[in-house]
Chain A
Amino acid sequence: MENPKILALIIVLSVLAILFLITLVAMNFLLSKRKILEKENKLKDLENRTKIELIKTIVEVEEKHKSEIAKDLHDQIIPVLTLKALNLKTHITELEKGEKNYTEIRQGVDEMAALADDIREIVHGIVPKMFTSFGFIKSLETLITDMSSVNGSTATFKDNRSNGKEIMLTQIQQLTLYRTCAEILNNLMKHSKYNYLEASLEDKPGEILMTFAHDGSGITNQEIEYLTMAGSGIGLKSLQSRILSLNGKIDYSIEKGVSFIKLKIPTSNGIKN
């Protein structure tokens, strides 16, 4: 046997090397899993923070809306009602004294009717009037076609649904979708300077697709992401929060002079209207 000592040494060193290698592999394995875990936690954190921000926005927007309604009621309705009540009281006193002044009383009643109109307007600030009377599709169609002839632009609405009249969303979801579309349209009117806007509604199994296509200046998903990270204004957050509440997705893209905003809303939880 040639130099058994050397062979033995080689075997010992090889065994130690194998043990060392196994230890390294195991440590690397644990470290890589830890990195994946850290990355996942970071993403979860970001998701949670975004959700909290959006919920905060929903609450902020609601509170703002409530304050506006309260202000309108306070400024427009209460003073007038109080004054009318006082006037009518005066006329009743005169009547009791035998002084007949029916003209002024009639005028007071007419003014009360006009007040009812004002209250109606405020109420309709809460829920869009066309929506309650004619439903989601008609109110959306009206909203879009009303935008036509603003600054010489044209807006059209196409109902490309295949299953007839049924929208598989609850009433609240439809109202939220209506408001989302209204906000998108408002933003397009303000910022995109389009000449032609085409809005279309499609339904696919399990979802509704609302597409806004226009020839004005558009925005991409990347730019939206950047704006979100940079702490965008309440408008964008309010839109995102509405879409989140519908469990929907929004996609912004630009293709050869056409800007698209595609809204995808799942309908699996909806009930027939």
Chain B
Amino acid sequence: MTFAAGYNFLTYASIFSVGVPIAISLVKFRKLNRVLWCLLIFLLIGGLCDAVCVIYRENNALLNVFLNVFTILEGLLIFYIYKLELRKNKIIAVVFTFFSVICVWQFFILKQISVEDTVVSTMEALFVILLSGLYFHKQLSDDNITRPAKFYFFWINLSFLFYFGAGLLLFATNDFINRAPMNIASMLWGLHLLVNIGCNLLFAFGTWKIQKY
């Protein structure tokens, strides 16, 4: 199997893997809280985006628009999820403001929304890693929490950390990857898709945990 073939396989696998946490959300429909509703919307948009990327992979400009819009929506949705969980409104407000300013600057002032982006996605990854760390800190410093793994959001937080931790380097070297030979690009983005599949499974596990929460 070539890298390209492997990448194609992983693309479809990644799209279908989104179905796992969505399916579990539908099973646990009645028990979903606001966080999991936001996560469901995030997964649906993500799955949609992946599908669109497959369909429009030849049209770079349109593809970039979809990807950049998705990045904005993804970021805002994830920050809102952390606002609900962390309840640290000031920090979220600062992150939200910074991210919005960077988006506006990159997509409407410095460049265009139809141009490939590295900066916004990298900043998004950094913000999410920061918020993820804050959640772990909150669990660590709360003496009433003795079994963190029994909380559903522990797994969702871990998933975000894996995805954006691994993705940070890939987003930052996006330019290089897109100019690299096909097999190298396929291998690197394939790795990203593999992590994506793993993260979707963690989302599914976290959503399943809501029964015992």
| Direct A–B contact in the complex, CB atoms closer than 8 angstroms | yes
Which residues of A come within 8 Å of B, CB atoms? 1, 4-5, 7-8, 11-12, 14-15, 18-19, 21-22, 25-26, 29-30, 32-34, 36-37, 40
Q: Which residue of A lies closest to B149 (CB)?
A: A30
Nearest 9 interchain pairs by C-beta: A37-B146, A8-B184, A4-B180, A15-B166, A18-B165, A22-B165, A14-B169, A33-B148, A19-B166
Q: Which residues of chain B have C-beta atoms less than 8 A from A5's C-beta?
A: 184
Nearest CB in chain B: distance from A182 CB, A: 40
Q: Which residues of chain B have C-beta atoms less than 8 A from A8's C-beta?
A: 180, 184, 187-188
Q: Is the CB of A36 within 8 A of B146?
A: yes
A4's contact among B170, B176, B191, by CB below 8 Å, is which?
B176
Question: 1/0 per position for B118-152, CB-CB distance to A under 8 A?
Answer: 00000000000000000010011001011111000
Q: Which residue of A lies closest to B185 (CB)?
A: A8
Q: Which residues of chain B have C-beta atoms less than 8 A from A15's C-beta?
A: 166, 169-170, 191, 195
| Chain A facing B: main interface SS | helix
Nearest CB in chain B: distance from A40 CB, A: 7
- Does any Cβ of A come within 8 Å of B158's Cβ? yes
Q: Which residue of A lies closest to B187 (CB)?
A: A8
Q: Which residue of B lies closest to A19 (CB)?
A: B166
The contact sample of 26 A-B pairs, CB cut-off 8 A, is A1-B179, A4-B176, A4-B180, A4-B181, A5-B184, A7-B173, A7-B176, A11-B170, A12-B187, A12-B188, A15-B169, A15-B170, A18-B166, A18-B169, A19-B165, A19-B166, A22-B158, A26-B161, A29-B139, A29-B148, A30-B148, A33-B146, A34-B147, A36-B143, A36-B146, A37-B146
| Chain B facing A: main interface SS | helix
- Does any Cβ of A come within 8 Å of B66's Cβ? no
Q: Is the CB of B173 within 8 A of A11?
A: yes
Nearest CB in chain A: distance from B80 CB, A: 23
Question: 1/0 per position for B155-174, CB-CB distance to A under 8 A?
Answer: 00010011001101110010
Q: Give CA–CA (A25, B158) in the complex, Å.
A: 10
Q: Which residues of chain B have C-beta atoms less than 8 A from A37's C-beta?
A: 146-147
Nearest CB in chain B: distance from A26 CB, A: 6
Q: Is the CB of B148 within 8 A of A18?
A: no
B168's contact among A18, A25, A30, A32, by CB below 8 Å, is which?
A18
Q: Give CA–CA (A19, B173) in the complex, Å.
A: 17
Q: Give CA–CA (A34, B140) in the complex, Å.
A: 11
A1's contact among B166, B168, B180, by CB below 8 Å, is which?
B180
Q: Give CA–CA (A83, B177) in the complex, Å.
A: 114
Nearest CB in chain B: distance from A29 CB, A: 6
Q: Which residues of chain B have C-beta atoms less than 8 A from A11's C-beta?
A: 169-170, 173, 177, 188
Nearest CB in chain B: distance from A157 CB, A: 44
Given A15-B169, A18-B165, A22-B165; A29-B136 close (CB under 8 Å): yes
